[in-house]
Each structure stands twice: as C-alpha cells, then as structure tokens.
Amino acid sequence: NAHPRLAQVMPSLVRHLHDFAREVNLTVAEWTAAVDMINECGKMSDDRRNETQLLCDIIGLESLVDEITSKMLATSMSETPSAILGPFYRQDAPLLSNGDSIVNLSPSVSWYEQAIADSAFLTGRVVSGRSGMPIKGAVVDVWHTAPNGLYEQQDESQPDMNMRGRFATDADGRYSLYALRPVAYPIPDDGPAGRLLAMLDRHPYRPGHIHFIVSAPGFRTLTTQVFDDRDEYITNDSVFAVKDELVVKFKPRDGDSKALWTLEYDFVLGPQ
Ligand code: DHB
Ligand code: FE
C-alpha cells in the first residue's frame, strides 16, 4: 500500500525529469555537477540561511508553488494575494503597540541619512473577504531590510530583531506603525545559487519589499509582501514574487516629524 499522494506525484516527476534529460542530452558529468551543487546547498544551510530554498527561488519554484497553493485555497477574488515567505522570517518578533516604530536608528550607521529620507508611516485595515467587516485583534507580523539591504540577522551593525514587529489591530481592524520605504537588494549571492545566477548572466536583485504575515482566528493566515512602485527591479525580481495587486504607492506625508511618507494598505483575509 503505497503512499497515495506520492504514488500520484512520483510518476509525473520521473517522467518530466527523464524527458528533460533526453531533451538536453544530459551527460554524466553534468548530472554529477548538479548533485555536487545540491549537496553544497545542503551543507551551507542552517537556521540562518537556506541555500536549497534560494536555489529553488531563482528558478521560480517557490513563487510557483505559492501561486498554486493560494489558488487552491482562495475562496474569492477579493482576498489579498499571497507571496513567498522568503528565507529571512524570524518567529517571535517584538510585540509592539500601534504607532510604534520597528526602526532602531543609531546616527552612527552609514544608512542613517537614507533612513530619514525613507521614513514611512504604514497603516491600513485587516478585513474579512467574506463580510467586508474589520477584524479586531488580527496580528500583523512585519519585517524588512535596513537601507543597507540587509536583514538584521545578516548584519552585525543592527540590533537583534531590528526592522521586525508584531502589531494587533484595533476595534476598527486598523494597524499602524513606523517603518521605512524598502530598498532593492541582492539575495545572498556568495553560494551555489549566486554562482548559478552569474553563469546565467542574471542579476541577484529583488525589488524593495516589505514582508507581512497577517493572522486572525477563523481566517486563513496570509503570507505576503508589498513592493514599492518606485523600484527599478519591480518588473525584474530575481525570485519572481511580484504581483500587480501587491505593488504599492507611498505618498508624501505632511506634518509628521517621524515620517516623510505614508503607505495605506488593507489586507483582505479569506475564511479558514
Ligand atoms: C528571497 C526572498 C526574500 O524575500 C528575500 O528577502 C531574499 C530572498 C528568496 O526567495 O530567496
Ligand atoms: Fe525579503
């Protein structure tokens, strides 16, 4: 009694892999190089870095399975589209209050000036796709890079959990926080995934983006990203995660000494 899903999936996987090998006349040397590469990915992966995931991402596989999964689970077109989790999520980001900042600025960092220029107030509502009603007590878990393009765990110059926070929505379903307009940055390109990109003459950049996981009891958890429309890589993401509905416009903000930009973005959740 074979495992039912595997019995369905494996014949197709084998057929496509064999067809691929025949189509390109794959040699023993080439197959060996691929095996070595996958082994190297595994060896350099730990809880800070997932090189095998990165390898999948640059061939669009994580974005594709995200798309397939969300299409299977979505019940209405009005739900906010999902996007890939990516390799830099950390659980247990600080629980903050609405109106707090996730930016820990030290004037000594080289990116201080840009952080001021990109200072942004983020707000919006979390609503039910089915009823359109605001969801109170939804948790908005948010993270992005510093202006140097590095996530906190990649960067000695940032304090632990910098640029990360969790916010609970108020009675109107609203979240609000101070963050930054995100910048484009290269995915880690010092390993096999980066070497493959270089051999294909591809760049490693992702358009500036902010990650979110939005959750509430009774609703399907939404993992997504929003993309700043100012970014030159918006049509050329190295991991193919951009969707039109996730491209956002920051507007100039007046009369707030803490932010020069505002982003208003609502999250629409589907039923569980
Ligand atoms: C990838 C995704 C990200 O969000 C990121 O910041 C870096 C890399 C990825 O898909 O590999
Ligand atoms: Fe990211």
Q: Which ligand is nearest to the CA of 238?
A: 1
Q: List, in sequence order, every residue forming a beta bridge with 211; answer none if it has no partner.
A: 143, 225
C-alpha 47 to ligand 2 mean position (Å) = 16
What single DSSP character describes residue 153? G
Residue 75: per-residue pLDDT: 83
Q: Mutate which of 239, 240, 243 to test ligand 1's pocket (most atoms within 8 Å of Cβ)?
A: 239
CA–CA gap between residue 234 and residue 182 (Å, rounded): 12
Q: Which segments of 74-120 does DSSP mark as H helices, in order?
A: 112-117
Q: Does residue 149 line the site of ligand 1, with CB under 6 A?
A: no
Q: What pLDDT score was predicted for residue 77?
A: 81
Give me the pLDDT at residue 49, please: 84
CA atoms within 13 A on the CB side of 246: 24
pLDDT tens track for 116-156 = 999 999 999 999 999 999 999 999 999 999 999 999 998 98
Which residues of the chain are under the pLDDT cut of 50?
none
Cα distance between residue 259 and residue 252, in whole Å: 9
Is 227 in contact with 242 (CB distance < 8 Å)? yes
The phi, psi pair for 175, rounded to 5°, reads: -115, 155
* Closest by CA position to 221, among listed 132, 138, 122: 138
* Global confidence as pTM: 0.94
**Ligand 1 atom index nearest CA of 145:** 6
Contact 186, 205 (CB under 8 A): yes
Residues 94 and 140: their CA atoms lie apart, in Å, by 11
Burial class (CB in 10 A: 0-12, 13-18, 19+), 13: exposed
Closest atom, ligand 1, to C-alpha of 211: 4
Ligand 1 contact via 144 beta carbon (within 6 Å): no
